[in-house]
Amino acid sequence: MDENDEIFDFEQAYDEEFTNESHLLSDELIINHNDNYSNQVINKVMKNSLIPTKDTEPQQEQQHQEQQQQQEEEIVIDEDDEDQYDKFIPTDSEKIKKYKKDQEYLITVSKKPPTLLTPPENFSPVCGLIYRSSFPRIENFEFLLKLKLKSIICLIPEEYPPENIEFLNKNNINFYQIGLSGNKEPFVKIKPNLVNEALKILTNPENHPILIHCNRGKHRTGCIVGCIRKLQKWSLSMIFDEYRKFAYPKERPLDQQFIEMFDDSEIQNLAFENNWLPLKW
Amino acid sequence: MGEEEKDKDKDKVKAKKDKAPPKDAILIEQLPNLATPNDAATSTTITKPPSLRIVPPLNFCPVERRLYRSGQPSAINHSFLEQLNLKSIIWLAIEDPQDNFLRFIDENNINFFYNLGYDSIDSNSWDGLSESSIKQALEVIADEKNHPLLVCCGMGRHRTGTVIGCLRKLQGWNLASVSEEYRRFTGVRGGRILVELLIEAFDVGTIQIDKEVAPDWLIR
């Protein structure tokens, strides 16, 4: 039975943590006791690095500056990681060229070989004829055709890539773009009025079948789908459960807060007018 | 004297056990006591969802138009299920469903496909589904007469995941995408390799799709 193997020994873990902490404490104590010694060490460090004294040579100063710059750059890269995760990265241009060639070939041959369908990551129906996914790439186009989409809502502020626009035009799909910036601690926040706009489009049955996507299909899409669930009167716990399922392993508490706090009264009235509510699954 | 009292206590406990509520009931005693102390110490079942919000069953998700998946619904989910206007339910677990779920199925005139996961007396709840069970389930799914349809098992993770995974394969999805969807519903303990092997090994060619009765999302 695998269950027995995975039982976590809390007591042991607690003990380990505790002893580790006590180690830390004792180290600090030692430093405090040997005040003279530690002062000396600190003085040495100060002289060597932080304060450029007369003794230090200009070369050393330059080195220090370079080091500092390097450190700063490293920090910037760290911050970018989270940004990069949500940012749209265009498909490799050679891949697109090959795709276009294949398309032309298919037209001339007319019968295409049976291939496996590739749904975009995080693809799922939401309710009725509303679908959600991550950013659709050329390899997902064949799959999307099966949905017979009438519209697509894109939630990223970046420009829509030309190959996707071509796909839209070819298949007469309406395109809406609402550039949301994701919820990021602590200052960037999703704007509720933009979410309202997106929901207006989504709850209009004339636009169905409709696909909603951002870059990863996790955070921005998750927020909008959460708001749809709120319109459907789902309990908040189950909304959060669904949000976490799709956002795993990058769940954001701020997104869940947004869903909870979002005022959907305006959209609710509109959805009733559009005959989208009460919902017919 | 002391022993007699103990015996009395034991009797009380026994009496309580005899009156045991259904498994899914939320006991008032178990809830934190926020309001005035409860005089009626007897247990009651909460059947209404909190504050007019509806509660979908555990792991509920639409799979395709008029096809849904979930774990076993409890009394609190019934108002939600009524919205779906279900015509049929596929039950994949070996264990019998709870009484109130059966009652719900009965009251709403729902076709109930069960015993699919039950292949022999020796089968266990942690065994995977057999090929014939998957086949039977897929044949029910492939007939639009049975829709709107809910596929469920105890938790809506592995058995439901197996059938939905094989359905995705039947629809022509690649295995990586099938596995991504399966693992979305398996919770923190992750997916079972056995289930994924089962999906990979399942021969989709054995399923015959009658184009006249199949839902249009299944026809390639």
Q: How far apart are CA A84 and CA A87, in angstroms?
A: 5
In which band, very low, low, confident or very high, does the pLDDT at B219 lie, cut at 50, 70 and 90?
Answer: confident
Domain boundaries, chain A: 121-273
Q: What confidence score (pLDDT) does residue B122 get?
A: 63
CATH topology of domain A121-273: Protein-Tyrosine Phosphatase; Chain A (3.90.190)
- Inter-chain touch B60–A236, beta carbons under 8 Å: no
Structural domains in chain B, sorted by start: 1-46 (no CATH), 50-206 (3.90.190.10)
Q: What is the DSSP letter of A138?
A: G
In which band, very low, low, confident or very high, does the pLDDT at B10 lie, cut at 50, 70 and 90?
Answer: low
Q: How far apart are CA A75 and CA A71, in angstroms?
A: 6
Q: What confidence score (pLDDT) does residue B41 get?
A: 58
Residues in chain A within 8 Å Cβ distance of B68? 281
Residues in chain A within 8 Å Cβ distance of B156? none
Considering only residues A16 and B154, tell me which one the structure prediction assigns the higher pLDDT.
Answer: B154
Q: How far apart are CA A144 and CA B48, in angstroms?
A: 40
pLDDT at B100 over 60: yes
Q: Is B153 in the active site?
A: yes
Q: How far apart are CA A222 and CA A239, in angstroms?
A: 10
Q: What confidence score (pLDDT) does residue B121 get?
A: 59
- Give per-10-residue mean pLDDT for chain A (281 aa): 50 50 42 46 46 51 61 50 76 86 70 80 94 94 93 93 94 93 70 90 93 93 94 92 92 90 88 84 76
What confidence tens digit (pLDDT) does each residue in A214-224 have? Answer: 999 999 999 99
Q: What confidence score (pLDDT) does residue A34 get?
A: 45
- The whole-model pTM stands at 0.70
Q: What confidence score (pLDDT) does residue A35 get?
A: 47
Q: What is the mean pLDDT of chain B?
A: 83
Which residues of A fall below an 8 Å CB-CB distance to B?
Answer: 6, 114-119, 121-129, 146, 232-238, 242, 245-246, 248, 279, 281
Catalytic hit among B61, B152, B153, B166: B153
Q: What confidence score (pLDDT) does residue A66 get?
A: 63
What is the layout of strands, in order, in the sheet containing A130-133? A124-127, A130-133, A210-213, A151-154, A174-177
Give the mean model confidence (pLDDT) for residues B32-57: 64
**What are the C-alpha distances in Å from B158 to residues B135, B162, B208?**
16, 6, 24
Give the mean model confidence (pLDDT) for residues B75-79: 92
Task: Give Cβ neighbours of residue A216 (< 8 Å, ≥ 6 apart).
Answer: A85, A86, A121, A122, A134, A135, A250
Decide: A127 and A228 in contact? Cβ < 8 Å.
yes
